[in-house]
Structure 1
């Protein structure tokens, strides 16, 4: 503070996520200095960080002997109000700046499109992809060759290829997997079996056989090429492949970056480099159609009510995400989910693309399928706050308040959630040792800080850890000892877990409280394998495309963990 004015704001050592909390700190800090007031707007989607920064600045003013009341004047409106409708023409409009929208815009540029515009209602880019754990599923022979094929895993394949088919498409997919598996056995390989067809079959079966196989095949056949494409853009893909929560197979790749930053940042940087234009803080209100019914653009509105009409020569791509934060749409689709349930999702996930498209006859599929994630932070529903670097469950067990395992940790997500809800307090604890803990977790949070504030429990012995958690020490010790024997035998006689890597033996030991949170909406717009939106008669709506969580049909009734990041 200089001459009774704030002259500079420093936040040394902050590790807020780029594009999210980091944007809030930068933008709010600039506004405070420019307008000499704490009465500046929060950044939507980063409310906690926005409030924290303003609180910290207020405390600094008081420590400097200042009066906070002198820093409360209103901020003038930044965006100028303009009468009428502002009109614009571009080659391509993409609605939504998350993983799907950024991928679409960058691909359009790669293919030679000149004037590409992304319209995003939030003030930041990244969508849900920025908040994810960057688990990316793909059959990847090169990276999976380090993994063994156990008898338990063989049994899973044999069971899947010999069941009664649900329909002809399922029968054909099973036959394709069987042919690949027989060739694998004939080769004498001892490494993990996987292929796009097996990924597709697990996706279909894991979604209770209600997904659309042509979409699932298109997805599974392209995810490895997509992963390589992401690497070519700069995504730091790690070599180790594991099995994420609810993934069903060891094909989950992880990125060496906090949260989903390793996915979003390379795409955003590439988009900027190639000249993609962004219109942030602008909500799309409707589609523009010509007399023949072809989608030729959008209408939109910013936060002060300025209206826009943007025409697009090559149609419109909807990449607006799901609807988990739209309680009315959510309850209509899945009445069993109570309105008070929290979500892992960003606040902009309100189903706008579905609302707009269905207004013009677009069909939907699977709207009653809403997924709950089993292992979120109790109370807030966020994915953060854990004591491990990797998102896989290879080296982790989950116990209830009695210190006992109650489910196979590699179960489907809906099975896992149902099991947790039956436990005391409807919570569980991730238990792991220090071999998979780094100073910063996969969300760039300082693990020791999380321990200090009571989000994570840490102890040099399992007995002490149990004492901190209020559970019987002998029960927790026995549970861990039993798990360690299972790792040796590669067999779980109690629950049938297939996934084993390292034992839990290296002190200190950690426990992270976890509880279910609404996570993903599997339903959405009906699309073809070319991502064309179709109407209620099954006819393509010309000029309208959709990608990511705004669509339905790929994940069926239950999305496999790690499939959505690859999907977008």
Structure 2
């Protein structure tokens, strides 16, 4: 059923975050003009200052210390931090997150003993080619065509051990994404033959069959060989496992029934050389793990105790805190703004009641790397 109320925001710029800031700037500008708020763009914070277990300020990259009665971490996720992503999610990072999503807030918090929440809740977008030439960004132009209702599959999906792990023709991308989380490094290969390349709709958006053939050995993650064993060696798949899976799948095609996963679209065996393998990594849109907070957005230690003087809002607390084990485009935007506003109002009320105001704000020019104090 169509939406009755428009709920999608499209910015005219990429990335879209600055467009949101532009819309909110009119609320901030009067406070800047009146001197009630100081904005320090480009100041990268590298450590929290603590005294007797309480956070009392931050230290900048140049060694400057900024004292503050309260520190609010609003640094975004770690969708552009391959080291943190490998540690916390156990998978290679192929991302659509902004380059400013470097996980600085998590690093600051963990160094001070903060606990984490949302571990084990990560859910990827199904499949993207490995990044080329060290670029972490997903190549949306040349993305594998994995939506079964749009392109009934001729290929099989195998993991690093060469085993199939899902019904490739399952119409639900969500079911495939949830199955993907359970395989080694969430990495899989589309394996197919010359007939599939010739008769299927294009396997990769933006490439004809001839172009895909030509990219083998030139583009990372795209391989071909004259036999299945050599293909496995070139792609990094277990050869014995792949041979067994291909033979078993071909037997299912001959019998007209997939006895392992119930796949119904069985157009042809994988039998005509050359054979092809296209590697797919999980694609990260948002990160689900983050700093543990209580109902007032106060950061907690690993033992659950609140850390006085430290708050966190936005993706730094992990998307799982507000979205659970699911996502769609823009789902982090409203919670970040709503919880940020709630924390801001509560701190302002507390500051006025105590006769002092929080007047300094430090952030990076990218808007996601550094905490506000």
Query: TM-score, normalised to structure 2's length?
Result: 0.50
Higher helix proportion: 1
Query: TM-score, normalised to structure 1's length?
Result: 0.35
Q: Which has the higher contact order (CA 8 A, sep 6+)?
A: 2
